[in-house]
Structure 1
Amino acid sequence: MPRLTTTKPSYVLQKPLGNGVFLVRRAPDGELFLAQPLDGDDGDNNSNANNNEPAIQEPTSNIPQATFRELLRRGAGHAAANVLNHENLVSVRDELVDFPFPLPPPHVPPQTTLLHKDVDMDVDGRQPHAAGNNNGEQEEDDNARPEHQAPPPPPRRMLLWDYCDAGTLQDVMDCALPPLAAYDDPLGQDFLPEGFVWHVMLGLLRALQFLHQGIREGYEIEEVPAGDGGGGRRWKRARGAQTKEEDWMPILHRDLQPRNVFLQRPRGIETYGAVKLGGFGNCFVSGTVAGTAGTPLVAIKERDGSLAELREKLGRFRRDEKQMPLEERPYTNGSELAALGLMIYQMIHRRLMLLPPGARGNIFDPCSDDVDPQKIFNPDSRYTHELKELVTDLLLSNQNESFPAGKVLNRAWAGFEKWVASTDDGRLHRDLFDDIAFRRRNQERIEKAQAKEGYVGGEDVFVV
């Protein structure tokens, strides 16, 4: 994998967020990222500034952060960046080396340090420009005490991550999720807009297709000059070319829950911002290349477990299938899709489907019983038949270890397109494809105007 530290744009340190995490802004376009220093100092203290202790401690069982940093020092960071580089995963977006990162100097209250100002910093190692004259030089203060002057910021290595500024799916649900006892109808009520449900489902299916199969899919639009691409558009959405990673080893997330689904605010004219899957602390990486005949993607749900135990569970699962208790089954890619189905059901009906035995409103076990959409969905629900049918199939996917995310994505795409074309809300819905078309039309207008005025040369112009 090529190094991430090629020519980089300038960044601006916005503010510290605590726990060794900082908010950093990319200067050219204003994009915000989470920055995490990796040199052994969390950036909120000066504990190692005046001693000779090593920045990275030897890893021990009770120092998880040191273990993490040691893995990064040995190259695990590049391996993680090779996986976490998908638009629907919380991804590593950049790596900065020799970043002039300010630390609170000794004897100076934190509120007077550079950490509490917007400091322009270039990744080429130049000093930050604090408040001063027009040349960026700090003005001298005759009354300043030398021991109170901030030391030059030490160069530091940092990773920049996606900043999900709209919270999580769990936050969205908590905003309007009443206690279960408030329901008279055990099936619940219509909850979130169908456009948002489709948006989350498509984003997570794209993420799972990448994790399970190593397939990345682009975004394209096709011009329809003589027809209607839907909603009065003269273009239509087109799924971009699929590229498959070579020698991809499948990954199971194993913790697909609303709290691990992160959201961003729209960056353009989209109705909803990007959906990103995070929380990879319990993931499982297969040791077999995807598509190898006779080798299923299977694991134990918990972090610990022996290979012999896994083989025994897989053999029983293939032999007994539905008769095998849910808690004893191995964890497969079908388990992951069933977990997605449970999340989507909660988004539709404002309540959890699975409850402890005997709890009020417990409907069924979707992994052992047949699922009837007429029984699990409110008959008065306004959601489309295609969405209900797809959720039903997701809830049954745990019965089939070979149920691929790519096929589910194909069905979800068709259902989404039908919703867009056949409903009023769908025709008003705007997504990334609309934003691509909007930016493209703006760029064409700019180029035509420049050609009409005889404009030649100059810098590229981007209109959002």
Structure 2
Amino acid sequence: MSVRNFDEEYETLKVIGKGYFGTVSLRKQKSTGNVYACKESNLSACKTEQQKQLFITEAAVMKDLDSTGIVQHIDQYFDQANQKLYIVMEYCDDCNLTQYVIRQKEQNAFVPEAFVWHVAHQLLQGLDYLHNRARKDEIIVHRDLSPNNVFLSKNGDARMGDFGFTKTLKRDGSWLKLEAFEYAYASIVPPHHQPPELLTNQLYNEKADIWSLGTCIYELITHRTITVVHKTLPDLINEINECRILKIQSHYSNQLQNFVDELLKYDLNKRLSAKELLIKFQDQFNSLQK
């Protein structure tokens, strides 16, 4: 990569998120005046090369993505001297899905069913793209799809972001399993958004993302997580195992209940793929265009 002065190219307006490995800030590109979200990762804070590789993989994956339901990649730069990785992305100018649910809950307001279908449709399109079309020989598994990582724009668009725990899977019927160095990262992913197969450290594939989407949609509808947040891991697994059907409020349609049931199939072999879900519920998704 050529040597650049990233701070000269992008003016920092404000910090909008902060974590152990870096920050997300709102930045204005000086040459165009456009405003973007910029994730700045401090690779020198990584304790192992494998941990650092997660951030490098995120940058490599994001630069090639171009689909509805996924935050658009704009630019990226690696500052070798300071070990900082910058990823510039589309700025979703409303809030994340967690903040939206809190806002609706505080107003004691039900989320309109049409909006639920709209969010589900856009995110499913994004997952279908990751799983089937983004790469010819590989499946991209997000592995960290939660309301914190779903971003909304004021025009109603929903985008998934934060590809820092992404994994690729060969398109040959093979499976994934968490590696030892991934446990630390997996432990900070909200457990009530992780599929049972990751919680129990079993083999998994791209359908792990379908379960996580289900937890997002369930939370959007009901304003609560599918399990009690502060349970111990064994209790959490038991609760998920016992609660095979998660009921939503009766004023929502049977089709929406069926959709939630399909997303939250405990057995990943019985879970439909993103493509199959888009086909099965195409009448509901098509109605959004009318």
Q: What TM-score range do you get, normalising by the shorter chain?
A: 0.5 to 0.7
**Equivalence for 2:149:** 260
Other-structure match for 1:201: 120
Residue 378 of structure 1: aligned partner: 249
Contact 1:190 1:349 in 2 (8 A): no
Decide whether aligned partners of structure 1 residues 328 and 299 sit closer, same or farther in structure 2, where only a CA change above 3 A counts. closer
Other-structure match for 1:400: 269
1:86 counterpart = 2:67: yes
Match in the other structure for 1:283: 166
Q: Compared with structure 1, are the counterparts of its residues 27 and 414 closer, same or farther at alpha carbon in structure 2 (3 Å cutoff)? A: farther
Q: Distance in 2 between matches of 1:343 and 1:20?
A: 22
Change (3 A) 1:35 1:257: closer
Match of 2:176 in 1: 298
In the alignment, does 2:210 pair up with 1:337?
Answer: yes
Q: 1:413 to 1:366 in 2, by over 3 A?
A: farther
Superposition pairs for residues 244-259 of structure 1, below 5 Å? 245-247=135-137, 249-259=138-148
Equivalent of residue 172 in structure 1, options 100, 112, 117: 100
Amino acid across the alignment from 2:47: S
Question: Take 1:258 and 1:332, find their aligned partners in 2: how far apart are those partners?
Answer: 21
RMSD of equivalent CA atoms = 4.5
Q: How many corresponding residue pairs?
A: 255
Q: Secondary structure at the match of 2:67?
A: coil
Q: Return 325-334 or 193-202, whichever deviates more.
A: 325-334
Q: Is the 8 A contact 2:124 2:278 kept in 1?
A: yes
1:261 is displaced (CA, Å) by 0.8
1:85 shift after superposition: 3.6
Q: 1:35 to 1:168 in 2, by over 3 A?
A: closer
| Residue aligning to 1:355 | 228
Structure 1 residues 58-82: Cα deviation after superposition (integer angstroms, max 9, x where no partner):
x8728999x57xx86xxx6873344
How far 1:351 sits from its partner (Å)? 2.0
Structure 1 residue 61 corresponds to structure 2 residue 63: no
User: Is the contact made by 2:13 and 2:25 (CA closer than 8 Å) also made in structure 1?
Assistant: no
* Equivalent residues of 1:333, 1:403 under 8 A apart: no
2:280 to 402, 406, 411: 411
Say if 1:20 and 1:299 are closer, same or farther in 2 by CA, change over 3 A.
closer
The DSSP-based 3-state class of the residue aligned with 2:257 is helix
Q: Which residue of 2 aligns with 1:15?
A: 13
Distance 1:388 1:254 in 2: 24
Counterpart of 2:35 (choices 17, 32, 37) is: 32
Does the 8 Å CA contact 1:255/1:282 hold for their aligned counterparts? yes
Q: Name the structure where helix makes up a greater proportion of residues.
A: 2
TM-score w.r.t. the length of structure 1 is 0.45
Residue 190 of structure 2: aligned partner: none
After TM superposition, list the pairs within 5 Å mapping 1:96-135 onto structure 2. Answer: none
Report the counterpart of residue 191 of structure 1 in structure 2.
Answer: 110
* Partner AA of 1:377 in structure 2: I
**Structure 1 residues 419, 246: CA separation in 2 closer, same or farther (over 3 Å shift)?**
closer
Distance in 1 of aligned mates of 2:25 and 2:198: 43
Listed as ranges, the gaps of 5+ residues in structure 2 are 2-8, 17-22, 79-84, 184-195
Which residue is equivalent to 1:437? Answer: none
Summarize deviations over 1:313-341 as a string: whole Å, max 9, x none: xxxxxxxxx9x997354333333212211
Return closer, same or farther for 1:333/1:276 CA change in 2, 3 Å cut-off.
same
Gaps (5+ residues) in structure 1? 4-10, 41-55, 98-156, 179-188, 216-244, 267-271, 306-321, 422-464
Please give the TM-score of this superposition, normalised by the length of structure 2: 0.67
In structure 2, the CA distance between the partners of 1:31 and 1:386, relative to structure 1 (3 Å rule), is farther
> Cα distance, 1:175 vs. partner?
1.9
